[in-house]
Amino acid sequence: MNKIYNPDPSQWLEILKRPTKTVEDIEETVSQIFSEVVKNGDAAITKYTELFDGFRPEETRVTAMEVDESRNRISQELKDAIFLAKTNIEKFHAAQKTERISVETSPGVKCWQEKRPIQKVGLYIPGGTAPLFSTILMLAVPAALAGCKEIIMCTPPDREGKVHPAILYAADLCGVTRMYKVGGIQAIAGMTFGTETIPKVYKIFGPGNQFVTVAKQLATRHNVAIDMPAGPSELLVVADETANAAFVASDLLSQAEHGADSQVILVSTSKNLIDEVEKEIENQLKDLPRKEIAEKAIANSKLIYLDNENDALEMINEYGPEHFIICTGNNDFYAENVQNAGSVFIGNYTPESAGDYASGTNHTLPTNGYAKQYSGVNLDSFMKSMTFQRISEEGIKNIGPAIELMAEAEGLQAHKNAVSLRLKELE
C-alpha cells in the first residue's frame, strides 16, 4: 500500500482519486449493446451472454425446478444464517415505515402525503467472481415490504449456465417474482427496454462493476430510474493507537477482495499503527483464497498519516466513503461530525462485514464520492411520495386571490382564470 504522510490539502483530490474508468471510456460499449437489445431483444441478450459469460442460453429465465433444486444444494446452516440476516434486515427496514402526513395549510385547504410502491423493480445481483446472494436480501426484502408488485432479478450464470444455489434460494425466500440468468450490460439493457422474455422495469437497483454502473447511469436516459451510481466497493478506516491493527487490516482486506478495482484507505493519527497495519495486511493476505484480487486492490489503496483529528475528519468528508469504520479513542467526534459516508461502523467490534450481511442495515450504498449527495438503499427507495389536496369553497376563497395575483404576475392568464371562474361562481 502507498504510505503518505501529512499531505497538503491541495494534494488531497489527487491522493483520494478512485481507480475507476470514466463514463466516456465505457459509454460506447454500453450504447452499442443497448442499441442491439432494442433492435434484437432476446437474441442480443443471448449473444452477449455467450460473449461475456461463456455460455449460450437456450432459456434465460430460471425455472421452478432450478429453484426447487437450490434448496437441496446448500446446507441447513447456511439456510439458517440467511434466515437470521433476512429477519434483521426486515426489522430495520420495517421500522422505516411512515404514516400518512396530513395538514390543513389554510382553513378549507387540506394537503396530505401518502406513499405508494414502485410497481416494477429490477434487481441486479453480481455473480461473477463472488455470488452476492446477500445483495438479494438487501434489495428484495425492502421491495417486498414496500409492496412492489413485480420484483425482477437478473444475475450472471457461470460457464455451465447455472446460478449459485444460494442466490436462487435467497431470491425465492424473499419473494422475487421472476429470475433471469443474465448479467452485465445486457441485463441492465433487458430491464431498461424489455425483451420478449425480460420485462421492462421502472427502477433498477443493485451494485456491479464499472460497466454495470455506467449502464445503469445511461439507463436513466430511457425513462428508467436507478437507486444510485453504485460501482466498485470502497472502504475508509480511521484509526489511532487505541485500535487493534489486526482488526483494521482484516477490514481493509475484506473490501479489497471484492474486486481489483476496489479501493481501501486507512487514515490515522498514529504512524506506529500504520506500520502495524501494513505488516498485518501482508500476513493476512497470504492465506486469502482471493489473494490475487486483493493484491490488485491494495495497489490502488493508501495508508495516510495526518497530525490531528480535525484534518482527518476533513479528508474523510472530502472523500465521502461508501463504508466508513471508526476505531479511535474519540469515536464520538467522528460519528457526530462525519457528513459524507454511505454507512458508518463504530468501534473495534463493528466490522464492515456485519453491515454486508446480518446487522440489518442495507449494504447497497453510494460509491465514488456519491455519498456526498446520495443515500444508501432504504425502504423509501422502493416507494414514491404522492401529494394530495382537497379544497373547499371556504378554502378557495381564502387562497384564491393570492393565486390570481401570482399567476397574473407570471403572465399566466389561464392559471388565473382557473381560479377566477370558481370565485365568481361562489359570489
C-alpha cell at 118: 414502485
Calpha distance 292→105 (Å, rounded): 62
Residue pair 155/125 in contact (Cβ under 8 Å)? The answer is yes
Calpha distance 188→201 (Å, rounded): 10
Residue pair 358/81 in contact (Cβ under 8 Å)? The answer is yes
Calpha distance 3→386 (Å, rounded): 50
222 is in an annotated binding site: no
Residue of 257, 280, 322, 352 marked catalytic: 322
Per DSSP (E only), the strands in 84-212 are 101-106, 109-117, 120-124, 150-154, 178-180, 203-205
356 is in an annotated binding site: yes
Cβ contacts of residue 291 below 8 Å, gap of 6+? 285
Is-catalytic flag, 363? no
323 is in an annotated binding site: yes
233 is in an annotated binding site: yes
Residue of 257, 323, 352, 363 marked catalytic: 323
CA distances from 77 to 73, 170, 394 (A): 12, 14, 65
CA distances from 207 to 132, 141, 212, 250, 276 (A): 10, 16, 8, 22, 32
186 is in an annotated binding site: yes
93 is in an annotated binding site: no
5 is in an annotated binding site: no
Within 10 angstroms of residue 75's Cβ, the number of other Cβ atoms is: 9
Residue pair 187/154 in contact (Cβ under 8 Å)? The answer is yes
Residue pair 11/148 in contact (Cβ under 8 Å)? The answer is no
Calpha distance 30→34 (Å, rounded): 6
Q: How far is CA 333 from the centre of its chain?
A: 27
Calpha distance 147→118 (Å, rounded): 8
311 is in an annotated binding site: no
- Binding residue positions for substrate: 233, 255, 258, 323, 356, 410, 415
From the annotation, which residues make up the binding site?
Answer: 124, 186, 209, 233, 255, 258, 323, 356, 410, 415
What residues are designated binding site for NAD(+)? 124, 186, 209
Tell me the catalytic residues. Answer: 322-323
> Binding site for Zn(2+): what residues are annotated?
255, 258, 356, 415
